[in-house]
Structure 1
Amino acid sequence: MAERERHTSPPKADRAPRRTGAAEAAACASERLAALITHRAEGVSAVCRVEDGWRVSVDVVEVARIPDTTSLLATYEVDIDERGELREYRRVRRYRRGSADDC
């Protein structure tokens, strides 16, 4: 019994802050952005580790149209910290669903 007590976890205050993984960062960024800009997230096109968290590129439908291929989408860069809290966001691109990137 004494052996078990010796190997217990430290109190919560002594633990290091939980780090967010790429998949969780993508989910957090999508949810937080959608709540702020009131457009639904279409998907995540990039996740990049930065010094103090994550930068996630989230694609959203800004103007839904019929047919769907004429809808206007936008890509936002969303920066979140290690805990998944939003630090900043910015729209970096706006485009029609059916358009291709210039190569």
Structure 2
Amino acid sequence: MAADISARDGAAAALKSIGELTGKQTVGVASLEPTDTGWKVGVEVVEERRVPSSGDVLALYETEISLDGDLLSYRRARRYLRGHTGDESGRS
């Protein structure tokens, strides 16, 4: 399991990398899971700001962080409204 980098450091690396790559504001870590090669981290991002903020469009990015803290891969898994209370299937 991921012994070289802590969960906190893996999460911080994912937040920083996604913020830099997308140029968007990261909201926080939505999920964190150890893997054999590091950490799988779900990062929530503000894709579009709206007024009121409950109408903001958010996105969930799934990342893989190496044992050294480097970003190995990322992808946008889904987009949704901040105030959306629908199912967790990723379908809006």
Q: 2:72 — aligned with what?
A: 87
Q: Secondary structure at the match of 2:31?
A: strand
Q: 2:57 — aligned with what?
A: 72
Q: Secondary structure at the match of 1:79?
A: strand
Percent identity of the aligned residues? 37
In structure 2, distance between residues paired with 1:78 and 1:35: 13
Superposition deviation, residue 44 in structure 1:
0.4
Q: 1:25 — aligned with what?
A: 10
Identify, as 1 or 2, the structure richer in strand. Answer: 2
Count of aligned positions: 86
1:1-103 superposed matches below 5 A? 19-102=4-87
Bigger Cα Rg:
1
Unaligned 5+ runs, structure 2: none
Does 1 or 2 have the higher relative contact order (CA < 8 Å, sep 6+)?
Answer: 2
In structure 2, distance between residues paired with 1:101 and 1:70: 14
Q: Give the RMSD, CA atoms, in angstroms.
A: 1.3
Q: Secondary structure at the match of 1:29?
A: helix
TM-score normalised per structure 2: 0.89
Q: Assess, with a 3 A threshold, how the Cα gap between structure 1 residues 20 and 39 changes in structure 2: closer, same or farther.
A: same
TM-score normalised per structure 1: 0.80
Structure 1 ranges of 4+ moved more than 2 A = none
